[in-house]
Amino acid sequence: GEDVEQSLFLSVREGDSSVINCTYTDSSSTYLYWYKQEPGAGLQLLTYIFSNMDMKQDQRLTVLLNKKDKHLSLRIADTQTGDSAIYFCAESGSAAGNNRKLIWGLGTSLAVNP
């Protein structure tokens, strides 16, 4: 079945780069997403990438997609304490028509140390 895997924890120093990794199984997914969740809050869409792209950059965020290895990464440059949160990877899934829905990873908890 469809599955998305992420490492559960990452700790970095303020100012360093963070790289959060994700692997997925469904090669027919059209979109792959990164969401951010701060404590006690809902999820916020950070960025997404089409499956026919290799890279997408948006200010401090860089998304890399390796379709051959079904590997997605999110790099946060110059990580700040405000980046401390849980980051979720999600894929759009391959179900057709009305049944298409997101497949979620368990989330990576990023801790930024001063």
Partner 1 sequence: DGGITQSPKYLFRKEGQNVTLSCEQNLNHDAMYWYRQDPGQGLRLIYYSQIVNDFQKGDIAEGYSVSREKKESFPLTVTSAQKNPTAFYLCASSIYKNTEAFFGQGTRLTVV
Encoded one letter per residue, x for contact with partner 1 by CB under 8 A and - for no contact, window 17-36 reads --------------x-x-x-
Interface residue with partner 1 among 7, 23, 48, 64 (CB under 8 A) is: 48
What is the rounded distance in angstroms from the CA atom of residue 108 to the CA atom of residue 63? 15
What is the rounded distance in angstroms from the CA atom of residue 37 to the CA atom of residue 16? 20
Interface residue with partner 1 among 19, 45, 53, 77 (CB under 8 A) is: 45
Give which of 18, 21, 26, 22 is closest to 112, Cα–Cα.
Answer: 18
Interface residue with partner 1 among 2, 8, 80, 113 (CB under 8 A) is: 8
What is the rounded distance in angstroms from the CA atom of residue 80 to the CA atom of residue 57? 18
Instruction: Choose between 14 and 47: whose C-beta lies nearer to partner 1.
Output: 47
Tell me if 36 sits within 8 A of 96, measured CB to CB.
no
Is residue 42 close enough to count as binding partner 1 by CB under 8 A?
A: yes
Q: Residues with Cβ < 8 Å from 45, sequence gap 6 or more? A: 33, 34, 35
Interface residue with partner 1 among 22, 49, 74, 93 (CB under 8 A) is: 93
What are the residues binding partner 1 (CB under 8 A)? 8, 31, 33, 35, 40-45, 48, 88, 92-93, 97-102, 104-107
